[in-house]
Amino acid sequence: MQSLIKTRTKRFALDVIDLIESLPNSVSLKVISYQLVKSATSVGTNYRAVCRARSDNEFISKLQIVLEEADESGYWLELIQAKGWVDVSRQLQEANELTAIFVSSLKTIKNRSNSKNNEENNPLK
């Protein structure tokens, strides 16, 4: 699963870079483009850090950053879509799908971590 997500996050970053390079030149678009390319490329780089996490707590902490970056990317894409500058529905769908994957992963690891902590703290087991 991790290599699939690595591939998807890299593809997402490349798709956003291609999108940014195709946008017209305006002051507001420059600002939004800058923010979008930063957050979209951060999804993949931070996910690679998640894959190297040494503990559940480190995994959770790093994955929360990935989630924030994916969600932020979605926000910038929503602005571009709302302004009607270009169609970003494909990139927006991917941002939303990645966000959903990371939310689900966080829930799973937090539940597993909480269960493990409860077992360790229960002297009757």
Full set of structural domains in the chain with CATH: 2-121 (1.20.1440.60)
Average pLDDT over residues 101-124: 80
> Using one digit for the tens of pLDDT, what is the confidence trace for 108-117?
998 887 777 6
Task: For residue 69, give both structure tokens.
Answer: 């970056």
> Using one digit for the tens of pLDDT, what is the confidence trace for 48-73?
999 999 999 999 999 999 999 999 99
**What average pLDDT does the structure give for the chain?**
92
Q: Looking at the whole model, is its pTM more than 0.85? A: yes
Q: Please, what's the b/e burial string for 70-86 (b: 16 or more CB within 10 A of its CB; e: otherwise)?
A: bbbbbebbebbeeeeee
Q: Which residue has the higher pLDDT, 116 or 5?
A: 5
Measured between alpha carbons, how far apart are the two ends of the chain, in Å?
Answer: 33
